[in-house]
Structure 1
Amino acid sequence: MSPEGKTLLNIIILGLGFMVIFTAFGTCGNIEQTVIKSFNSTEFHGSGYTSMAIIYAVFSASNLIAPSVIAVIGPQLSLFFSGLVYSGYIAVFIHPYTSSFYTLSVLLGIAAAVLWTAQGNLLTINSKDSTIGRNSGIFWALMQFRYILLVVSGEKRYFLVSDKDRQTVFITLTVISLVGNFLFFLIQRPDPEPAPSDASDILLTSCFIYKIYYLFSTEKSIQLAMTKEMLLLSIPFAYSGLELTFYSGVYGTCLGAMTQFGDDAKGLIGLSGILIGVGEILGGGVFGILDKCNRFGRNPVVFLGLFTHIVAFYLIFLNIASDAPVAPEEGTQMQAFIQPSVTVALICSFLLGLGDSCFNTQLISIVGFLFREDSASAFAVFKFVQSITAAVAFFYSNYFLLHWQLLIMVLTGFLGTITFFVVEWGVISSRRDSDYDSI
C-alpha cells in the first residue's frame, strides 16, 4: 500500500473507532439524565448534569498532562486505555451507585483529555498541509455516523427503565464501546520521511529527549497557549464547548420535557440525535471533499456554521418553553412563543449538527495546520478551552432558563467567528507571501 493510502486508511480507522465508542457513549449521555430521574433506588442520588460538569472540569485540567502521556506511551495506546475508561463509565449504569458514578466521572475527564489529544496528534501525523482539511472532514463525518445508530435511545421502553431493560441496554452499550477500543490497534505507523542514515542516532536521541521533556514539563503547552494565534482561537474553542453542551445534553432534555409534544416527547430525543448526526455527516463529508476546491480558506465554512446556528437558536427560542432545561420529571407547563412543532424541533436538530460540523472541522484543520510541529500540545490547549467552557455550561444548565443559554451562545459564537477570521486571514496572507517569494 502506498504511503498516502496507508495514512488515509489510518484516518478512516480512527474515525470508525471514535464512531463506535461515541455511539455507545453518546447514547448513554442522551438518556442519562432521563434515566437517572426514573431510578427508583433510594441508594442513588446522582445528577447527569453534575456528572457532565465534573467530567469537563477534570477534562480541562487534564489537558495539561495529556501530551506527556502521549509522548511516553504513544497515541495508539493512549486511545485504547482512554477508551476503556469510557466503557467503565457506561458500565456504571448496570448497577448504579452514587460513589462509583462520580468516581468514574472524574476518571473519564482524565481519559477524555488523553483520548482527544491523541486523536489530534494522530490526525496531524497522518496528514500533510495539503490533506489536513480533507482528513479532518473525513474523520468528522465518519465519527458522526454514531448519531444514525442512536435510534436505540429513542425507544420509549428505555425511558421506562425497568431494572432488566436498563441492564440490557447498558451491557450492550459497554460491549459496543469495547469493540471501538480494539479498532485502534488496526492503525498502522505512517511511513517516516526518508532521513540520512548517519542521522539515525541523532534522531533516536532527540526523540528520547522529546519524551523526557514532555514527561516532566507542561511549559510547552502553556507557551503555546500564549501565542497570538492560540489566544484568538481560544474564543471559537470556547464556543465549540458551549454548543457541544447544548446539542449533546441540554437540547435533548428540553425535547423530553415538552409536554405539548405528547406521549412521544421522550422518544424525540433519539430522533433528534439522528438528525444532529445527519447534519454532522453532511457537513464533514462536504467540507472534506471540497477542501481542495476552496480558494477562500476556512472562513466561509465558519460563517456558514454561525449563520446556521443563529437560525437554529432563534427557532428553538420560539418553539421550546423557557424552563424546559430545568423542568421536573413530569415536564414543563410553560408555553413557548409559538405553538410547539415537532417538525421545527427536528429541523433545529439538523441545523445544530450542520453548524457544529462547520466549526469543528475547520478548528481541527487550522490547529493541525498552524501547529504541526507541536500538534499534541496544540490539541491539548484546544481541548482544555473547549472542555472548561463545556463544564461551565453543564453547570449552569442546572439553573439557567433556555433563553439565557441561547443568548450566551449567540454572543460567544459571533465573537469567536470574528477572531477565527483574523487567524485565517493571517494564514492566507502568509501563503500569498510564500507564493510570491517562490516566484
Structure 2
Amino acid sequence: MGIEGVEESGGTGVPLSKFRYNSPFVQVSLIGLVCFCCPGMFNALSGMGGGGQVDPTASNNASTALFTTFAIFGILGGGIYNILGPRLTLLSACSTYVLYAGSFLYYNHHKHQAFAIVAGAILGIGAGILWAGQGSIMTSYPPSNRKGTYISIFWSIYNMGGVIGGLIPFVLNYHRSQAASVNDATYIGFMIFMSIGTLLSLAILPPSKIVRDDGTKCTDIQYSNVTTEAIEIAKLFTNWKMLLIIPAAWSSIFFYTYLFNNVNKVMFNMRTRGLNNVFYWGAEIFGSIGIGYVMDFSFKSRRTRGFVGISVVGVLGTAIWIGGLANQLNYSRSDLPEKLDFKDSGSAFAGPFVLYFSFGLLDAIFQRMVFWVIGALADNSEILSRYVGFYMGIQSAGSAVAWQVDAHKASFLSQLVTNFTLYTVSYPLLVVLILLAVKDEGKADVEEFTKGKVAEFTEEKLLSLQPQRSDRNDRRLN
C-alpha cells in the first residue's frame, strides 16, 4: 500500500504536507530540538569559559577527555547508528549530557576534577554517536535540492539552545557582577533541558519510514552488522574525499578553546559572558539562514552554489580573523585586560562584543557549508552516516589537541595564528572536492533516469521473450 495516496515506488507528483510526522521537515525539526536541549546547552556551558568556573583547569582536562573519546566514537558513530537505528542510538547518547552538567554541579561544591574528567570521557562517547546520527538524518532525509535549507532549519533550532542556554547564566547571575563562578541553579537549569532532550529523542523515526513531500521515500536501510561497518569505516581512511575533508574538519571547532577561554573568559565578567553567548549563538542562526540560501537558491548549478558558498566563507572568514588578530595584539597571557561589563564599560565593550558576535557568524557559515559539501557527496543514509561520523571524529581530535594546547599555557597569539592558518588551508581543498566529487543535480538526475529506463527496457524485453519461448516449446511437443 502507498502512504497517503502515494505509491510505494515513488512520487505521484502531488505534494504532501510537510507537517506530517514522517516528513523530513518534522523529523529534522525534532532532531534540531533534541540538539537544542543537549549539545545546545552544552555549548552554552562551554561558552562561558572554564565551564563557568574561575579556574579553567578542570574544564580543560574534562574537555580533553571528552574530545579524545569523541574522536574515536565520532568515527565509529556512523557504524553504531547503522546497527542500532536512531532511537536507541540517540537515547543513550543524550543521557550522557545530563551526567556531564551534573559533574560541574558536583565540582561547584567539592572541587574534585576526577568526576568531571570521567563524565567528559563518557560524554565524548555519547556525543560521537549523537552527531553521527544527527548528521545522517539532516543530510539524507531531505531531497537533494533542499539539503542546504534543511541544514539551516536544523542549525537554527539547535543554536536556539545556545541562545536560551546563554540566558540561563545571564539571568541567574545578573546581580552577581563580581561573581567568579556560576551558581548551582545554572547547572540545574542545564540538566533539566538536557533531560527533556533525552526523552524527545524517542520521537525520531528511522529513514525507512520517511516520505518526502513529493512522495518519494528516503533510502531504505537494512540495519548493518559490526563486521560490515568495521570494514566500511576502515575504508574511509583511504577515501580521497574524506582525506580532503580533514583540514576543514580539524579546524571547524579547534578555535572554540581560544575563543571561549581566551576571549570571552579573559575579556568579560561572568554575567557579560552569558549575554555574549546569547548573541554568539543568535549569530549562528542568522549565519545558518544566510548560507542556507546561498547553498540552495543562489544559482541553478549545485557545483556553482558550492563554489560561491566557499568564496563567501573564505572572504568573511579572513576578515573576521584579521579583526581577531587586531584585538589580540592588545593583551596577552602575561598582560591580561581589565574585565569588561556590558553595563559599566561603555564604548570599550562594543568592539570586543562585535568581534565575538562575528565569530558566531563564521562558525555557522563554515560548518554549514562543510556539511552541505558532505551531503552533496552521497544520498544514501548509510554512507552519509559514515561520512559524518568521520568528519565529527576528526573534528573532535582537533578539539582535544586544542584544549591541551591551552592547558599547557600556549600564548594567545600563537593559538590565534594557528586557527587562522587552519581555516585558510581548508578553503582550496574544499574547492577541489566540489570540482571532482560533486555532480550538478541535472546530471545526476539524467544518469539516474537513464539507468532506470535501461533497467525497465531490459525487464520488458525479458518478459516479452518468455511467451515466445513457451510457444516454441509447445510446437516442439506437438
Structure 1 and Structure 2 fold alike (TM over 0.5): yes
Q: How do 1:4-403 residues align onto structure 2 when only pairs under 5 Å count?
A: 4-5=18-19, 6-31=23-48, 33=50, 35-37=52-54, 47-96=58-107, 97-149=112-164, 150-154=166-170, 155-156=173-174, 166-190=183-207, 192=209, 207=222, 210-214=224-228, 217-256=229-268, 265-295=269-299, 296-320=304-328, 324=332, 326=333, 331-332=336-337, 341-373=348-380, 374-398=383-407, 399-403=409-413
Kindly tell me: are residues 59 and 340 of structure 1, through their superposed partners in 2, closer, same or farther at Cα, counting changes over 3 Å?
farther
Q: Using the alignment, how far apart are the partners of 1:387 and 1:370 within structure 2?
A: 21
Contact 1:66/1:117, CA 8 A, preserved across alignment: yes
Contact 1:272/1:349, CA 8 A, preserved across alignment: yes
Q: Which has the larger radius of gyration?
A: 2
SS in 2 for 1:63: helix
Higher helix fraction (1 or 2): 1
Q: Using the alignment, how far apart are the partners of 1:4 and 1:69 within structure 2?
A: 29
Contact 2:136/2:388, CA 8 A, preserved across alignment: yes
SS in 2 for 1:207: coil
Q: Using the alignment, how far apart are the partners of 1:34 and 1:183 within structure 2?
A: 25
SS in 1 for 2:254: helix
Contact 1:255/1:266, CA 8 A, preserved across alignment: no
Identity of matched residues, %: 14
Kindly tell me: are residues 254 and 307 of structure 1, through their superposed partners in 2, closer, same or farther at Cα, counting changes over 3 Å?
farther
Contact 2:262/2:412, CA 8 A, preserved across alignment: no
Instruction: Give the total of aligned pairs.
Output: 405
TM-score of the superposed pair, with normalisation by structure 2: 0.76
Q: Using the alignment, how far apart are the partners of 1:237 and 1:315 within structure 2?
A: 23
1:304 aligned partner, one-letter code: V
Q: Using the alignment, how far apart are the partners of 2:102 and 2:70 within structure 1?
A: 20
1:53 aligned partner, one-letter code: T
Contact 1:233/1:419, CA 8 A, preserved across alignment: yes
- The gaps in structure 2 that reach 5 residues or longer are 5-15, 212-218, 340-345, 451-478
Kindly tell me: are residues 323 and 387 of structure 1, through their superposed partners in 2, closer, same or farther at Cα, counting changes over 3 Å?
farther
Deviation (angstroms), 1:308: 2.4
- The gaps in structure 1 that reach 5 residues or longer are 39-44, 195-202, 257-264
Q: Which deviations, in whole Å up to 9, do the C-alpha atoms of 1:146-194 show, x marking residues without a partner?
A: 232212323355686699x722221221111111222222223456589
Deviation (angstroms), 1:402: 1.8
Q: Which deviations, in whole Å up to 9, do the C-alpha atoms of 1:237-264 show, x marking residues without a partner?
A: 11103234344444322323xxxxxxxx
Q: Using the alignment, how far apart are the partners of 1:291 and 1:108 within structure 2?
A: 32
Kindly tell me: are residues 323 and 428 of structure 1, through their superposed partners in 2, closer, same or farther at Cα, counting changes over 3 Å?
same
Contact 1:237/1:382, CA 8 A, preserved across alignment: yes
Q: Using the alignment, how far apart are the partners of 1:426 and 1:289 within structure 2?
A: 23
Q: Determine the structure 2 residue equivalent to 1:421.
A: 431
1:12 aligned partner, one-letter code: S
1:133 aligned partner, one-letter code: G
Deviation (angstroms), 1:432: 6.9
1:417 aligned partner, one-letter code: Y
